[in-house]
Structure 1
Amino acid sequence: MIIWNILRDRKSVLIAWTRQQDTVFMVLLAVVIGILSGYAALLLRFAIEWVSLFWTGERTWEDAITTLPWYIYLLAPTITGLIVAWISIRFLPEGELRDVAGVLADMVERRGRVRSRLLATELAGSALAMGGGASLGREGPTVALGALIASEIGQRLDMSEQQLRILIGCGAAAGIAASFNTPIAGALFALEVVLADYAIATFSPIVIASVLATVIARSEVGNFPAFTVPEYHLISTWEIPAYILMGAICGLVATVLIKSMTPTRIFLTRLIPNRLIRPAVVGFVVGLMGLMLPQIMSIGYGTVESMMLEHVDPHLMGYLVPLVLFLAVLLIGKLVATILCAAGGFPGGLFGPVLFLGAVVGALFGGVAHAYSPSYSESSGAYALVACGALTAAALQAPLTVMLIVFEMTADYHIMLPLMAACSVATLVTRSFGRESLFTEALEERGIDSNWSLEQSWMRSVPVSRIPWRSVPRVSGHARLGELKQVYTGSGKGCVQVVDDEGLMIGIVTFSDLQNWLIDPALDEVIVAAEVANRHVAVISETDSLLDAILILDRETFEQMPVVAADNPRKVLGILSRNTIFSTYHKLIVKHGERERG
């Protein structure tokens, strides 16, 4: 018993010491998050395969295209639509956002406390949806699962908002790294897309989580990239203008995808108000489309790989058609199916469908370019590979992350020139139509500014007690107007606090309150301070934050604001000026910029 108490005491001391060493503690948590997120990614991947096996007898829908009975195309997405709708209504009754958008929304509105209810929709709902044929991807739910695991750990350990943000970044990085076997790109995805924060203190734990998740994934599925990609060659420098043009086309396709989501969501909501029925109806429509074009069903990575390797079978409804016609129809079909599934209530991500669309655009463009100028252009597979990156970069507004994903998958430096050109142009084209991405368009629809979350966390980390406030002169409520004037002019503070017999605030007197009483000196011995005081005073508690102070000042026009005790809103501790508050804010921005450069 004595030995046990000694060990327990030493354990407590070790935990307390670790908590004090913030960097060490965050790294240890990153290890845990990386491992758990890696296994969560594998679980989702295998769950999708299990559901697909149930419906098709194969691990993926592509493997069953030639043997699948026609009625499965209709039954699978319709029935799974009903099931995932019930799951969504049960666990997200208010129609809260899911996937990466849900994580970003929680970072803005819930200070990084991701809702644990997302677990059911991201794991069970996404597995059922994609295994049942919904035209969506697994990477978004994998990121959300990692973020959920990280946030849950942080909440149980009572971490601060800034620490929660870093942990969520660890989970997001682990999700991407485990999905694509790309640890570097996983880390950059978290920094570029989820956090928009490149500070060194943020970077280190995220890299560790990304590496460990990759190790976990490789231990189960092998050290293989997500796709088998062709060996790349830049045939001629004249290809660069072609890649730039293709990048512009990818940017336009990405724009159509992003801009179509909200109108389609509104249209389907009005057409089918019942949330339980809506995904089933959408699933039935997608199934009908799948009868004519089975490649659009589910994730479609097999089709993406076949385009890169130039093994496309251009059969449309059983008839051999020109490859260009087949690819054009496939592009439109996948685009429509993806928009319907995402807007119609199916849980799942959009990373996979965007890669699919990019591969189709690249194969179509590359086929035309190679046919027109075979001596100066690579074959269509190379264009499909580059277009995957370009369209994804534009749709996610994350060019650096996507460039690294493609580079890590190919391990070929020669692809970087066309890839950088195409990704940059595609991103610029899409951004010219608006700054929202596939992850943020749903936030924009609900009026949530995801870019504001980082600044919010900075400002919430600064309590009002750390902002320099000044003392405020006081007079009794029984004091005559003449005495009030003397205190006001003598202090030079621009305001006077009027208090009761217990020293608690009755109100505040500023020049605008006094000016009506300056005309007639005879009132100096008649009027008392309590009659002059403005009793409608906006105050801020000593336990509030810089963000609270700025939000109050945004609503009000006054230049000063009393700071009151947490246990008594009439006990004034000092006064904050507008200049001091915004000066503190500017110093915080400069300080954070120095952290990033460091």
Structure 2
Amino acid sequence: MPEEPHEAPPESAGGRFGASIRNADYLPKWFLLGTTIGVISGLGAVVFYLALKYTGEFLLGYLAGYHVPTPLGEGGSRGSTGFTRAWAIPLVTTAGALLSAIVVTKFAPEATGHGTDEAIEAVHTDPRAIRARVVLVKLVASALTIGSGGSAGREGPTAQISAGFSSLLTRRLGLSDEDGRVAVALGIGAGIGAIFAAPLGGAVLAASIAYRDDFDYRCLLPGFITSGTAYAVLGAFLGFDPLFGYIDAEYRFERAWPLLWFVVIGVVAAAIGYLYARFFHSTVALVRRLPGGPILKPAAGGLLVGLLSLAIPQILSSGYGWAQLAADRDSLMSIPLWIILLLPVAKIVATCLSIGSGGSGGLFGPGIVIGAFVGAAIWRLGDLAGLPGVPERPGVFVVVGMMTCFGSVARAPLAIMIMVAEMTGSFSVVPGAILAVGIASLLMSRTNVTIYEAQRLDRAAAETERARGDSPNVN
């Protein structure tokens, strides 16, 4: 982010069209802006998905001879059964991180890291401040990081791409600060909702992502238009199937006492989510103090991820395919127990090495995978011990783990719960999920920890900060 906010554009900005938008009534204004942002968010998600797909096929698939599994919504491939050129994996992860760092350092240094914090910061400080070039740089750099095996998610890049376009609209049309903040928040929600094919969750996320303990109702209704449009555009190109298909969609709660298992998931997922955020921010702080510069540090992180993946290949890339396999009983039983138990922590370490070192990619995706294996580990231990109340298949625990772990640490429990339900087609788990998510969120609220440091406590705190002219730094 630029250190100094841009000045508000003059009233002549955008010409007659800009003036007509600024002076329009609420409904036509946000229908037009919401639709426009939604179309670009959807197209941005499509372009980024394709860039990521082909980059991964070339770097990991062709050069390293390794194919990661994919979720059902993207073909449902089970991936490679082992490494054919194990020596190439660390080379590819290092090269991808190095190239990504070079692109970012040369063209847009603010595109480093996961991107969502920068977009949130624009909501709170200056909605005009995201440079247009950040959009392209973020797309290329993140595709290189994730496509080469870096442990990162898609949502940060798509959020920054969509928020960047919203920032451009704010500048070009001369929107007010208030409208600009809403527009950038809509871009964040629409971008994330589009890449995960979760429009309702994206709309709710737009209203909640900027605050730890608040909800901006101004973003909700326009968010429906924006996220719905983005989803329609993405679906027109890539299809409308849920990312993970339909996981245990027929599950039914028949007795009350098995719900106690969701209390366990809530407590454990909150602890793992807390560890995720603390370890990530500590890694960022440590890396800043280390010598090496903004190019060598991400490359070193990529090398370490590649070496670690030789023992635990599940940490490579986004990991969505592994989360898919964890929801299937036979596939989960084929994974060694020690990997299942260790994987949440291993994925945290890999993500911190990939993104905390300065690489480009999101934190949402890894958080979903971490939560999936928290649920899988609890199911596996309960099934192994023959404990009562454990479902026959792990899918329910895996889905609720996804919702709970990241929903609590992102301080957006409702939005993440809805998004994961859309991503998995598993709305039947909601009775258990609200228990787990509620407990985890209450526990997390006792701390000041959040994965997104640019979040403010609430709208009142944000307004007070702007009135004082404060602008804290973010990662």
TM-score normalised to structure 1 length = 0.68
1:199-210 matches, cutoff 5 A: 199=217, 201-210=218-227
2:173 aligned to 144, 152, 157, which one?
A: 157
Matches of residues 19-168 of structure 1 in structure 2 within 5 Å?
A: 19-23=22-26, 24-57=28-61, 61-62=68-69, 63-64=79-80, 66=82, 68-93=84-109, 99-168=115-184
Of 149-158 and 117-126, the range deviating more from structure 2: 117-126
Q: Which residue of 2 aligns with 1:260?
A: 279
What corresponds to 1:382 in structure 2? 396
Q: Which moved more, 1:329-338 or 1:354-363?
A: 329-338
3-state SS of paired residue (2:362) = coil
Contact 2:326 2:332 in 1 (8 A): no
Question: For the pair shown, which has the larger CA radius of gyration, 1 or 2?
Answer: 1
- Structure-1 separation of matches of 2:233 and 2:299: 36
2:339, 2:17 → 1: CA distance?
A: 64
The offset of 1:160, in angstroms, is: 0.9
1: CA distance, partners of 2:143 / 2:17: 40
- Corresponding position of 2:326: 307
The 3-state SS of whatever aligns with 2:303 is helix
CA deviation vs aligned residue, 1:42-74 (integer Å, no higher than 9, x gap): 111111111111123379523245354113311
Tell me how far 1:98 sits from its aligned partner.
Answer: 5.1
Residue equivalent to 2:9:
none
Deviation sequence 1:565-585 (CA, Å, 0-9, x none): xxxxxxxxxxxxxxxxxxxxx
Q: Which amino acid aligns with 1:393?
A: G
Residue aligning to 2:450 = 437
Return the offset for 1:403. Answer: 1.8
- After TM superposition, the structure 1 = structure 2 runs for residues 292-371 of structure 1, keeping only pairs within 5 Å, are 292-312=311-331, 323-371=336-384
SS at match of 2:329: coil
Contact 1:119 1:145 in 2 (8 A): yes
Relative to structure 1, is the Cα distance of residues 413 and 125 closer, same or farther in structure 2, using a 3 angstrom cutoff?
Answer: closer
Q: Deviations over 1:432-466 (max 9, x none)?
A: 2x2331112xx4xxxxx634777656997xxxxxx
Map 1:349-428 onto structure 2 (within 5 A).
Answer: 349-373=362-386, 376-378=389-391, 379-428=393-442
Tell me, yes or no, if the aligned pair for 1:359 and 1:384 is still in contact at 8 Å: yes
**Alpha-carbon distance, 1:164 to partner:** 0.5
Give, in whole Å, the separation in 2 of the partners of 1:313 and 1:106: 41
Q: Give distance in 2, aligned partners of 1:395 and 1:106.
A: 21
Partner residue of 1:249 out of 261, 264, 268:
268
Shift of 1:93: 4.3
Q: Is the 8 A contact 2:152 2:355 kept in 1?
A: yes
Match of 2:216 among 198, 207, 216: 198
Distance, in Å, in 2 between the alignment partners of 1:272 and 1:142 is: 31
Among 456, 462, 466, the residue aligned to 1:450: 456
Pick aligned residue for 2:188 from 169, 172, 175:
172
Does the C-alpha gap of structure 1 residues 37 and 454 become closer, same or farther in structure 2, counting only changes over 3 Å?
farther
What is the 5 A alignment of 1:579-594?
A: none
Superposed, 1:555-566 pairs within 5 Å as none
TM-score, scaled to structure 2: 0.85
Kept in 1, the 8 Å contact 2:122–2:184? The answer is no
Q: Does 1:284 align with 2:329?
A: no
Distance 1:380 1:94 in 2: 41
Q: Distance in 1 between matches of 2:126 and 2:164?
A: 13
Q: 2:229 aligns with which of 185, 198, 212?
A: 212
Within 2, Cα distance between the matches of 1:203 and 1:235? 34
The one-letter amino acid paired with 1:333 is A
Deviation of 1:152 after TM superposition, in Å, equals: 0.7
How many angstroms does 1:129 deviate by?
A: 0.4
TM-aligned CA deviation for residue 96 of structure 1: 7.0
Structure 1 residues 459 and 69 mapped into 2: Cα distance closer, same or farther (>3 Å)?
closer
Q: CA 1:65–1:82 in 2, change beyond 3 Å: closer, same or farther?
A: farther
| Alpha-carbon offset, residue 145 of structure 1 | 1.1
Describe the SS at the equivalent of 1:57: helix
Matching residue of 1:585: none
Matched residues in 1 for 2:111 and 2:322: separation?
Answer: 33
Give the distance between the partners of 1:453 and 1:148, measured in 2 at CA: 22
Aligned 8 A contact 1:51 1:131 in 2 = yes
Q: Secondary structure at the match of 2:255?
A: coil
**Stretches of structure 2 lacking an aligned partner (at least 5 in a row):** 1-14, 70-78, 471-475
Point out the structure with the larger strand share.
1
2 CA distance for matches of 1:198 and 1:452?
9
1:343-395 per-position Cα deviation (integer Å, ceiling 9, x unaligned):
11111001111111111111110122233346532132221111111101122
For the 8 Å contact 2:100–2:144, the answer to whether it is kept is yes
Contact 1:106 1:115 in 2 (8 A): no
> What CA distance in whole angstroms lies between the structure 2 residues aligned with 1:156 and 1:139?
25
Contact 1:65 1:294 in 2 (8 A): no
The alignment partner of 2:331 has SS state of coil
One-letter code aligned to 1:216: V
The secondary structure found in structure 1 opposite 2:294 is coil
The amino acid that maps onto 1:428 is: L
For 1:275, the equivalent position in structure 2 comes to 294
CA distance in 1, matches of 2:67, 2:49: 11
Which whole-Å deviations, capped at 9, do the CAs of 1:396-430 have from their partners, x for residues lacking one? Answer: 11111122123334555531111001111112222
State which drifts further: 190-199 or 47-56: 190-199
Q: Secondary structure at the match of 2:209?
A: helix
- Give the deviation of 1:15 after TM superposition: 6.7
CA distance in 1: counterparts of 2:127 and 2:17, whole angstroms: 29
Work out whether residues 27 and 204 of structure 1, in 8 Å CA contact, stay in contact via their aligned partners in 2: no
User: Structure 1 96/127 Cα, relative in aligned 2: closer, same or farther at 3 Å?
Assistant: closer
- The answer on whether the counterparts of 2:123 and 2:184 sit within 8 Å (CA) in structure 1 is no
Supply the AA of the counterpart residue of 1:264.
Answer: T
Distance 1:455 1:165, change over 3 A: farther
Residues 16/428 of structure 1: CA separation in 2 closer, same or farther (3 Å cut):
closer
CA contact (8 A) 2:119 2:188 kept: no
Q: SS state of the match for residue 293, structure 2?
A: coil
Indicate the SS of the match to 1:241: helix
The question of whether the paired residues in 1 share the 8 Å contact of 2:110 and 2:134 is answered with no
Q: Does 1:230 align with 2:248?
A: yes
Structure 2 distance, partners of 1:293, 1:222, is: 32
User: How many residue pairs get matched?
Assistant: 439
Identity %: 25
1:183 aligns with 2:183: no
| Residues 283 and 238 of structure 1, relative CA distance in 2, 3 Å threshold | same
Q: Distance in 2 between matches of 1:100 and 1:156?
A: 23
Query: 1 CA distance for matches of 2:405 and 2:356?
Result: 20
